[in-house]
Chain A
Amino acid sequence: MAVKSFATLCPLLKNDVLLDVLHHQDDNHVIVTSKRSGVTTHEVSNQKVLSSWKLSENKGHEITSPAVYNKESGTYHMVINYKEIWTWTDNTNNLEKSKKIKTSYKIHRLFSLEGHGTVVLLENGAACLLSELKDKQLIGRITAGETLHWWHVGTLGQTLYVLFVTLDTEGKVRLYQQWFPPSGAVENVSQLKRETDDNQFVSCTIQNYKDQLKILSLWSDGCLCSCVVSPSTDFKIELKNLHLIPNLGSKPFIVALGASHIAVSDMTNAQQPKQDGIGVWDSKYGTLQEWTVFPDPTNRGQAIYKQDHNLYIPSSNALWVCDYENKESNLKMSLGKYPSTDTNASLTAVWDVEDMINQKAPNASCIDLLQQLIDPNKTSSPEEFKDVFAQFFKMSHKESNRHLLSAKNVGILLNRIIGERGFLEHTRLQFKQLLDKKTIGFSVCPLLFERLMERNSLELMSFCLEKVQNIPEGVALQCLQYFLRKQDSDFKGDKGKLKEYEKITELAATDLSCPFEESKAIAINHIIKLPFNDIFLLESMRKLEYSEALLILKHMHYLLGSLSAEMATTQRHNTAAPSMLQVVQWMCIVLDAHFTQFVISSDARNILADLHSISQEQMQFWDDLQSLEGVLSQLKKKSSLPQKQTMGIYRIEMLHIP
């Protein structure tokens, strides 16, 4: 929202009272009614007066409701002395010759609505169409002592509505709603009340955004409150505190400029406290979007008007028209625009209901499918399960449904697949699809692996070890134990991996032999490659039986002996063999966990001695490498690379700043 320019539309006489600026035939024309100057029509773009009608003086006539223009009939309506409605057209030269209708009711205001004709609002709060004024018995609900303070007539869809706010002598604020849907009129009164009674109601405006009417009210403490009105919400009014508008004068006035901006008059700026200005306030993010000094001192307490795309501000001697640009409110625009430099003002961005509505809700049918999948009675056979799963899985790719594949739901589904009799054989694909999503929770792991071990499914276990992240150390060791107890022939390795593993072992020209067959070795290596915490792994390692620990030690021995230095030092992922560091760490833990048994048993003694010699060899190798360092530095010195100056503790240097 940006204020573009100011211009004077017409001069105002001294002691004149401007009644309203209203819509004329199109966006570029307005009708201005004031008590002394009468009715004038203007072209806004060039500030020209098109026509003017004045009341004859000394006849006791007084305009009490500003002139409205009915586009369909091309007529003007105006109320004189509360009880007379004058109607005239563009051709009428003398206003006294216009058509006059007298009523017994005291009329407050006339409104012109496209498609509905002219609406009359009476002082007692009743409203009707002008055409029905004579036929109807109109009883208003306003009680004595209440005065109308703000009013608005409009349409929401096909429904005509009349809203007005009254103030009574005790300072109570009431909002009257009258809705005229085709099915019959409804009306309601509700009090606008804030938590504290200390503040007085100051001004009010209405925003229409996405078929929702929002009434914004300003209170004497500068607080901007909002409430949503609609015919369907049982007329329940909830006044919500939005923001504190700072630096307000004694009589500010607000008017809505669009779905998320309001103009605020009688507002000063912290930097220019003496100058009067107009502020544009973002009612969505609670920031002052813009503040402009008003070119002329305004009439404090005088209303400001918004008609079509212009803002009209009366000053002491002229009516100003202010052109503004309607921009959408977004967070980017509001960044850095704090409401004020006043630290006491609370800075709260209220996220509107609209934002919440815009958020995508999960598809109801998707939830239904999930419920079917979870409930064993609804999908009792694997075939049914597969069908429903296929539909569900397809829908779950949508962003709005993605959260349905949460750890909890995946856990339940996995539990069904492996838990129920005869399911796993038919639903392997579904099982893998679920695991592929990688949303499985840490807490599901123990149960998942336990079930898989019961089911004796080596292939799926390897798959799980690959896909599930953050496997607890205890569970990993259980798997290891399970693998160790299985026969070599039970393992069927992945062909690609087998080839890779063969390559590695071929490279290693040693006389050591692996205690396991290749496919089993790959499965065990996979466990070794899992991330772990040494403390927790050590705890679980102690639970292994001695014979199993010995097997692992043998395997480690083989790996350590067979891995060449080149293989050990390069960082590799997704290969069939673990890295040197992983092997060393695991071996430390195996040794730590079963140290005493290894020392006293004769089987392990040879391996330990051999390990000792391997580690000696390795150390020798690294030592030799270190001795090469001198040669390397010699080589570096000889090379012609520019030498970097040492810094020391002080120097004066040249620095280039780009």
Chain B
Amino acid sequence: MGDFKVHHIRFFDYQPKSIQCLAYNSQQDRIAIGRSDGSLEIWSIKDDWFQEKIIPGSNDNSIEAVAWCGNRVFTAGIQGSIVEYDLLTLERKVVSWSNNGAVWSLESNMAETHIAAGTEEGCIVLYELTEEGLEYFKAFDKQEGRVLSLAWAKEDKLIVTGGIDNIRIWNTTSGHAIQRLTLGRQEVTKETLVWCVGVTKDFTIISGDSRGKTSFWNGKQGTLSRSYQSHKADILCLCMNKEGNSVFLSGADSNIIQFEYITSNADSAWRQWVRSSVYVHHKHDVRALVLTSRNFLVSGGMDCKLVYSQIEANKSKSHRKIAPIPQYSLVHLAKDADFVMLQYTDNLEIWKLGSTKAETGKIGEALPLHRDPMKLIELHSKGGNHIVCSAISRDGEYVAYSDTTTIKVFKIIQEQVTVMSPKLTIQKLKIGKPDHAHRLEFSAESDCLYVASKSGRVNVLNFLEPESKETTLSRKGDCMEPIHLMTLSPNGDYLATGDHGNNVQIFSTKQRKHICSLPVYSCQPTAIAFNQTSTELVVAYTNQKIVEFNIEEQQYTKWCRMALDSFPLQWLRQHNKISHVAFNPSNPDQILIHNEQMFSILDKSQPFPKQNTYLINKDGQPIKKDKVEHAFHLCTQFRYLMFADMVGPNFMLVVEQTPTSIVDRLPPALKEKKFGT
């Protein structure tokens, strides 16, 4: 393929947030993930584990529990409120208060009509679901000590809760406790906390507690039928299958242990709970476990990684760890000014790239730097609000970001550029108070800002003349799904958007109207980009296919038609989503695409390899092409790859965040003690 000069950046200090809770929605095949910074993520399993939506958190919103109710999602946390989210505008919709302190557990009933919340003050609060939101329905008798976990049982007639030193069974109609199961203590002064409870159809209660014991209780009689010291430390979460004969538990001791309800003897019908398999997928605390309807065991915890494994019998027990890197780009480039902007949770950093006078050098070696990179600006959001999206104009003169409330635009005035320490002033522009946006993009002349608004439209914000009338580009069709991709063509004539309804639409920025849409594909788009001549749009989808659409002819290009059916099978089998597409200015045939594990250059002028060709070997290294050149040129030496783009002819920018830098900053895992228990 050739040699490239690369700005190799490791100063993007992105720290992913740990997973607090998980909830699975079987109707939509989606998973909701609550993270420690209060943000909520929706992942689509259907689209091969695509990180679909992110609802940013805020400093006053923690997420301790998450629950689906039909297609609505609710979270609760230590601030004592239950929040419903709007999955179209991606913001908090309705907040209901528990009036009993922090909420530790949240569970909807089978009929999906009520939600029960376990609170700090020991009260279980029932809410009824209405169209507007949650309505307070009933509060049960107060118990001593917090309610840490709860589960509905017996066709919603009973609720089982786990608290401190005990498990209680409550009648949902009367609100009184009808049974109390007491747990022992390991040390007299140390309370036993029941972190998780589950109930099977035959009313066996399964609990995991702070002693590391898994207990199986007879719910009818309130007796302990079996107890195992399955873990060395607190068991924090459990999940069970639909039939209720298999349960998985994990916690501070990160082994996931499966118990199964099986006959112990071939000749007898007598069944008992026995430990069956151990899954070691994490090294740090596991905070949440769910089982999907296709028998995927999903786990997440302190190490920020989402891990899923197929647990069906007779299948290989392989698992996949999803890298804790967002599947969209947090890095923006102002190509004309050599600026790179890094988006953190609540601040932005703008760096000027370094430079070198050397034209070439030895492969793999650093070139002597003529100028070091410089951090020019660190811009913090007001009140520490979480940043949803940001943009920088091509000339580096304007910066915009949207937090959870509004959009802000700044002008950067460079006074002394040539000296070692340039002087910069930053000036906030008055633009009123528009609603927050999902994506932002500056126009080619940097005179207006395209805003993918929460209403699903694209607004044109003329920030230089704030008094002028705001224009809107309306999307075609009745899809209300939020826009998650937006890009402007190099000549500024076209704007393309991609949304979660699988639509990719192209607008003319001059006429300010929709001109065409791509055929609706069965998968969601993950990255879009216009080529250098602004005539073709390249779209990458979750199934790893890449299409090229000619805007003037309004159809797929010839190359695309050929390519669609001939992608190598190994390419299609990979799971990491393509998060960015770019083009080599010196060769219009070369498309640069990357995911978090590798980047590849797709050369359109070269033939596709045979479909059974292997591109990567078992160690994840590209296989050397011995005889025939083909279109795929892979590079796997950067990991995790946050961003890759071309900054000039054969000159790239690569932003890398190494896995070790993430792991190093995690809190210590459970220490394994060897002697003297």
Q: Is A bound to B?
A: yes
A271 and B517 CA atoms in complex are apart in Å by: 11
Q: Please, which residues of chain B bring their CB within 8 A of the CB of A538?
A: 677
Q: Which A residues are in CB contact (< 8 Å) with B265? A: 443, 447
User: Which of A7-15, A22-30, A337-345, A424-432 is the contact stretch?
Assistant: A337-345
**B674 pairs with A656, CB closer than 8 A:** no
A649: contacting residue among B9, B360, B369, CB under 8 A = B9
Chain B residues positioned under 8 Å from A342 (CB to CB):
520
Q: Is residue B564 within 8 Å, beta carbon to beta carbon, of the partner chain?
A: yes
On whether the beta carbons of B652 and A655 are closer than 8 Å, the reply is yes
**B266, B362, B364, B521: the one within 8 Å of A411 (CB):** B266
Counting CB contacts under 8 A, is B5 at the interface?
yes
The reply on A198 being an interface residue by CB < 8 A is: no
Could you tell me if A653 and B366 are in contact, using CB atoms closer than 8 angstroms? yes
Greatest chain B CB density within 10 A among A337, A415, A442, A657 is at A657
Overall SS of chain A's interface: mixed
User: Cβ of B625: which chain A residues have Cβ within 8 Å of it?
Assistant: 658
Would you call B270 an interface residue if the criterion is a C-beta within 8 Å of the partner chain's C-beta atoms?
no
* Chain A positions 258-301 with a Cβ under 8 Å from a chain B Cβ: 270-272
B333 CB to nearest A CB, Å? 15
Would A654 and B5 be within 8 Å (CB), given that A336-B565, A535-B229 are in contact? yes
Instruction: Kindly state the separation between the CA atoms of A415 and B360 in the bound complex, as whole angstroms.
Output: 75
B476 sits at the interface (CB 8 A): no
> B351-399: which residues lie under 8 A (CB-CB) from chain A?
354-356, 360-367, 369, 372-373
CA distance A347 to B523 in the complex (A): 13
- Judging by beta carbons under 8 Å apart, are B676 and A657 in contact? no
Partner of A336, one of B362, B519, B567, B637: B567
Please name all residues of chain B whose beta carbon is closer than 8 Å to the beta carbon of A49 when the two chains form the complex: none
Tell me the complex Cα distance, A270–B520, Å: 9
> With an 8 A cutoff between CB atoms, is A390 at the interface?
no
Cα(A178)–Cα(B426), bound, Å: 89
Contact of A653 among B8, B230, B567 (CB under 8 A): B8
Asked if A412 is at the interface (CB within 8 A of a chain B CB), the reply is: yes
Whether a CB of chain B sits under 8 angstroms from the CB of A353 is no
Q: Which residues on the B side are within 8 Å of A536 (C-beta)? A: 275
Inter-chain contacts of A657 with B (CB < 8 A): 1-4, 601, 633-635
Whether A351 sits at the interface, judged by CB under 8 Å, is no
Selecting from A131-139, A144-152, A587-595, the interface stretch reads A587-595
Q: Which of B362, B522, B545 has the most CB of A within 10 A?
A: B522
- Confirm or deny: B232 has a beta carbon within 8 angstroms of a beta carbon on chain A: yes
Q: Which of A335, A588, A648, A649 contacts B675 (CB 8 A)?
A: A588
- Distance of A649 Cα from B9 Cα, bound (Å): 6
Q: Does A627 contact B (CB under 8 A)?
A: no
**Given A341-B521, A652-B367, A654-B360: A271 and B556 interface contact (C-beta under 8 Å):** yes
Find residues 582-621 in chain A having any chain B CB closer than 8 Å to their own CB.
Answer: 584, 588, 591-592, 595
Which chain A residue has the least Cβ–Cβ distance from B638? Answer: A655
Complex alpha-carbon distance, A647 and B8, angstroms = 9
Q: CA–CA, A649 to B601, complex, Å?
A: 25
CB contacts (< 8 Å) of A336 on chain B: these are: 545, 564-565, 567, 572
Taken together as a complex, chains A and B put the C-alpha atoms of A335 and B572 apart, in Å, by 11
Query: For residue B364, which residues in chain A have a CB less than 8 angstroms away from its CB?
Result: 653-656
| B185-224 interface bits toward A, Cβ cutoff 8 Å, 1 = contact, 0 = none | 0000000000000000000000000000000000000000
A438 to B269, alpha carbons, bound, how many Å?
25
Contact A651 B369 (CB under 8 A): yes
Known contacts A444-B266, A650-B11: does B522 contact A347 (CB below 8 Å)? yes
Contact status A652-B266, CB under 8 Å: no
Which residues in A have their C-beta under 8 angstroms from that of B5? 652-655
For residue A46, CB closer than 8 A to chain B, the reply is no
Q: Which residues of B contact A658 (CB under 8 A)?
A: 1, 622, 624-625, 633
Contact of A408 among B9, B266, B519, B675 (CB under 8 A): B266
Complex Cα–Cα for A650 and B675 (A): 45
B9 / chain A contacts, CB cutoff of 8 Å? 649-650
Given A591-B675, A658-B622, does the pair A653, B367 have CB atoms closer than 8 Å?
A: yes
A588 to B674, CA, bound (A): 7
The CA of A415 and the CA of B266, in the complex, are separated in Å by 10
With A412-B266, A535-B232 as contacts: A341 and B522 at CB distance below 8 Å? yes
Cβ A443 vs Cβ B262 within 8 A: yes
Whether B624 and A655, one on each chain, are in contact in the complex, defined by CB atoms closer than 8 angstroms, is no
In the complex, whether A539 has a CB less than 8 A from a CB of chain B is: yes
**Bound Cα distance A270, B554 (Å):** 12
B521 touches A592 (CB 8 A): no
**In contact, B373 and A650 (Cβ under 8 angstroms):** yes
Bound complex: CA A338 to CA B572 (Å): 14
As a 0/1 sequence over residues 1 to 40 of chain B, the CB contacts with chain A under 8 angstroms (1 = contact) are 1111111111100000000000000000000000000000
In the complex, whether B429 has a CB less than 8 A from a CB of chain A is: no
Some 23 contacts from A to B, beta carbons below 8 A apart, are: A336-B545, A336-B564, A337-B565, A342-B520, A415-B266, A444-B266, A446-B264, A650-B10, A651-B8, A652-B355, A653-B5, A653-B8, A653-B361, A654-B360, A654-B362, A654-B367, A655-B3, A655-B363, A655-B635, A656-B4, A657-B2, A657-B3, A658-B624
B residues contacting A by CB (< 8 A) are: 1-11, 229-232, 262-266, 275-276, 278, 354-356, 360-367, 369, 372-373, 502, 519-522, 545, 555-556, 564-565, 567, 569, 572, 601, 611, 622, 624-625, 633-635, 637, 652, 674-677
A446-B264, A653-B367 known; 19 new pairs, CB 8 Å cut-off, are A335-B569, A337-B565, A338-B522, A443-B266, A592-B675, A645-B365, A647-B8, A650-B7, A650-B8, A650-B9, A650-B372, A652-B7, A652-B366, A652-B367, A653-B5, A654-B365, A654-B367, A657-B634, A658-B1
